[in-house]
Structure 1
Amino acid sequence: MTFLHLVAYGATILAFCFVVLSLACGLYYLAELVEEYTVFTKKIIKYATGTVVFIHVCLFIFDRKPFFQVLFSLACHGVYSMNLQTFPFISLTSPPFLASCVLVLIDHFVWFQYFTRHYTPFMDIAAFFGVCVWLIPFAYFISLSANDNALPLSDPAAADAIPSQRKQGLFKTILGYITRRRDDSLPSSHINVQEYNITPNAGLSSSLRNSYGGGGLDNRKMM
């Protein structure tokens, strides 16, 4: 039984690695979709925020959730919505973004304290935190501008001014940085082509010039 327990631990670790890898691939794909469809993403976040607000109201009416906690969560989502004014540009130093980072932690702590005092099944707690607390902040997280030169795809004037730049999500930038560090750590062979001074088709070009050039000179002499 001891060896079987070791096998079970190894299988658990392997399953956890697969889950993390699947989650990373899913986040990367979502970041790609956000970059390609910024206007549509803005609409989705707007409607999702309204849906979460409606869920809070229903929880207050039907499940008798505490009024002040529900009101605080509604105020938090109101602050989150202020980031839509400049979407997909979200400055990491703007007051709405900084306030959102603080409020999402406070909102999580407020509801965590509530559920520790009032027994609720685990699935209900997980669903509440996943939908009502973390869904909207997570949507903003995967669509953050990674740098100050991010280019919104919905602004043609800006696209004409800086055509070579491309908007990147924060998650994609982090994943790309990890990939570059991994590639730099791997040994690679580098061949300097300029050392050999290779001119493609040099022999063929010279032979053609000699044949045509020589023939032309002979023709001129005969004339």
Structure 2
Amino acid sequence: MSFLYILSMVSTFVQVVSVTLAIAAGMYYLAELVEEHSVMAKYVISWLVIITASIHIGLMIFDDLPLHLNILGLLQQSLHGLLLRHFPVVKVTSATFIIGVANLVLLHYLAFQYFGTVYYSFSEVLAYFTLCLWMVPFALFVSLSANDYVLPTTGEKQPLLGDNNVVTDYLSRKAKRYSLLSFFSYAKDSILPQRSKKAY
């Protein structure tokens, strides 16, 4: 009996590691897709915002969730829509981004508080959190790396550095950026073994 218990613990560890690696690989793939197709990513995220707002309206009409959860959810989707105006450029210091993060944290707190006091099945709670709270922020989080590959223009709002050269300014600012894709690329290069090509 104890040997089977030890095997179940080892199996649980292997499953957690496998799921974590699968999620990381999926996020890396999605981040690369967003970089290559930023216009399509904006289109998809815009539709996700519309769908999520429609879900909140449907919950207001057909279900008895508290009104403040749905109003905050609609406010969150309008903030996401404002963030998409300048997509793929997302400034994490902008007021819209900061208010959006604060509203998302408040929305999570109120949702946990509500679902902790009123009984719903686990699948219903998971559906609410997945479709109403996590879908659009996750898509925006994955798409943050697309900003790294936006070409520079002469209409940049920040003053140019050095010799007033747009490319030099862009490359010097680009070297300091950190994104999801650069983190995954670093992890891939440092953790996974590399094959060396034979020179003939």
Tell me the TM-score normalised to structure 1 length. Answer: 0.72
1:1-223 alignment runs, 5 A limit? 1-145=1-145, 150-152=148-150, 162=167, 170-182=179-191
Whether the 8 Å CA contact 2:31–2:145 is kept in 1: the answer is: no
For residues 22-79 of structure 1, give each alpha carbon's deviation from its aligned partner in whole angstroms, at most 9, with x where no partner exists. 0100000000110011001001111110000101111111112211221111111111
Which residue identity does 1:176 align to in structure 2? S
Which residue identity does 1:117 align to in structure 2? T
Distance 2:145 2:7 in 1: 43
Higher relative contact order (CA 8 A, sep 6+): 2
Whether the 8 Å CA contact 2:60–2:67 is kept in 1: the answer is: yes
Quote the offset at 1:146 in angstroms: 7.8
Distance 1:58 1:169, change over 3 A: farther
**Matched residue, 1:198:** none
Quote the offset at 1:156 in angstroms: 8.4
Quote the offset at 1:151 in angstroms: 3.2
Distance 1:32 1:87 in 2: 16
Distance 1:104 1:55, change over 3 A: same
Which residue identity does 1:170 align to in structure 2? S
Quote the offset at 1:87 in angstroms: 0.6
Whether the 8 Å CA contact 1:91–1:97 is kept in 2: the answer is: yes
Distance 1:41 1:146, change over 3 A: closer
Quote the offset at 1:122 in angstroms: 0.3
Distance 1:45 1:70, change over 3 A: same
For residues 146-191 of structure 1, give each alpha carbon's deviation from its aligned partner in whole angstroms, at most 9, with x where no partner exists. 87xx3326x8889xx649969x9822122223345558xx9xxxxx
Which residue identity does 2:149 align to in structure 1? L
Whether the 8 Å CA contact 1:142–1:171 is kept in 2: the answer is: yes
Distance 1:121 1:13 in 2: 27
Whether the 8 Å CA contact 2:72–2:103 is kept in 1: the answer is: no
CA RMSD of aligned residues (A): 2.7
Distance 2:191 2:24 in 1: 16
Tell me the TM-score normalised to structure 2 length. Answer: 0.79
Quote the offset at 1:98 in angstroms: 1.5
Which residue identity does 1:172 align to in structure 2? L
Distance 1:120 1:37 in 2: 39
Distance 2:145 2:27 in 1: 15
Gaps of 5+ in 1: 187-223
**Matched residue, 1:193:** none
Quote the offset at 1:91 in angstroms: 1.3
